[in-house]
Amino acid sequence: MKKYVLLFSALFVLSACQLGNNDSKDSTTKETASATVKTSSSQVSSEKNTSSSSSSTNASTTSSSKTAASSSATNSTHSDHSLSANEELKANYPNDQFPDPATISGGKQIGITAAEEQGILKVNYYIVDKETPFNDASLNSQTPVAQYQRQTYASSAAAQSAVGQNYDPNGQQVDLGHNIMGYQNSGAGSTYLTWKEGNWSIGVQASNLEQENPVPFAKQVVEYLESAFLPVPQTAGQISLRVTASDYQSNRIAWQNNQTVYTIMNSDSMNGLKMAVSMAN
């Protein structure tokens, strides 16, 4: 009997040990699994942080690129103040022809502004004391000494009409030299002397109030045009000059080429003529 009791006790103790070992193994396994989960979470968190950092870096790079592009676009203009004002004018309008600046004001320094709206290009010329950049804001408060225009019309007929030819052969005949006959008329406080040269109609206005005589100046114009050649109008050209001018709009020279009219205005009549001559092909 004692043998059975001892045997049973031994079996009980052995079973208890095995259970203890299994619990220990389960605990170790659980701890290992928990560590593995924590490690995996840490890795995921690290990867997320890395991804977030990478996205932030990419966003920063993209933002920097956009800023640089914006800055580049802002600074990308047609202005190059290392050029003279006239050179910059030509660079901005490479398909246009412009008067020689030396003819505009008797060789004085010239400032230039230009703008084009609705098919009309206007170039203003100013007398300046020193070299002034093209389209400089300081010129906006000044009065131009001359202006050049290029305007496109819907048809050649409309362009021809815009030239505004004015010629009256019914007045008093005046010999202007070089076989050119002018016709003189008076009205509205002025005396007008008109004549034709090719497709050009030319007129000189003199003030009766100032007792001006248009003949001497008209002869000066005829003499000048004997050796200086104007652009050739396709159909119509008009030169309107005053013996004494008050502003740049007092003297106007306009001519047509197809649907385009070119106009020159200058406060000095002879300088206006020289501007036009400098544009002859």
Amino acid at 44: V
Q: For 31-64, what is each residue's pLDDT tens digit?
A: 443 434 343 444 434 444 444 444 444 444 444 3
Q: Is the pLDDT of residue 183 over 70?
A: yes
Residues 99 and 70 in one domain: no
How are strands ordered across the β-sheet holding 181-187? 110-117, 120-127, 146-152, 260-266, 252-257, 237-242, 200-207, 190-197, 181-187, 172-175
Q: For 102-121, what is each residue's pLDDT tens digit?
A: 999 988 999 999 999 998 99
Report which of residues 1 and 272 the model is more confident about.
Answer: 272
Q: Are 268 and 234 in contact (CB under 8 A)?
A: no
Q: Is the pLDDT of residue 149 over 80?
A: yes
Read off the pLDDT band of 216 (50, 70, 90). Answer: very high
Residue at a domain's end among 41, 76, 111: 76
Q: How far apart are CA 113 and CA 134, in angstroms?
A: 6
pLDDT, residue 258, reads 96
Phi/psi of residue 104, nearest 5 degrees: -75, -40
Closest CA to 205 of 185, 225, 234: 185
Residues 110 and 229 in one domain: yes
With b for 16 or more beta-carbon neighbours within 10 A and e for fewer, the 120-135 pattern comes to ebbbbbbbbeeebbbb
The domain total for the chain is 2
Report which of residues 8 and 217 the model is more confident about.
Answer: 217
Residues 161 and 227 in one domain: yes
Q: Is the pLDDT of residue 28 over 80?
A: no
Residue 205, strand partner residues: 192, 242
Residue at a domain's end among 56, 76, 96: 76
pLDDT, residue 206, reads 97
pLDDT, residue 195, reads 98
Instruction: Provide mean pLDDT across the span 175-202.
Output: 96
Residues 134 and 109 in one domain: yes
Residues 70 and 91 in one domain: no
Residues 126 and 2 in one domain: no
State both tokens at 172. Answer: 């008093």
Residues 23 and 94 in one domain: no
Residues 66 and 203 in one domain: no
Residues 115 and 69 in one domain: no
Residues 157 and 69 in one domain: no
| Sequence-ordered alpha helix ranges (H) in 137-205 | 156-163
Residue at a domain's end among 76, 101, 117: 76
Residues 211 and 148 in one domain: yes
Q: For 62-107, what is each residue's pLDDT tens digit?
A: 443 333 333 333 222 456 668 899 999 999 999 999 999 999 998 8
Residue 131: give the domain boundaries: 85-277
Residues 230 and 149 in one domain: yes
* Beta pairing class for 200-207 and 237-242: parallel
pLDDT, residue 78, reads 52
Report which of residues 18 and 270 the model is more confident about.
Answer: 270
Residue 120, strand partner residues: 117, 151
For the chain, the average pLDDT equals 80
pLDDT, residue 166, reads 93
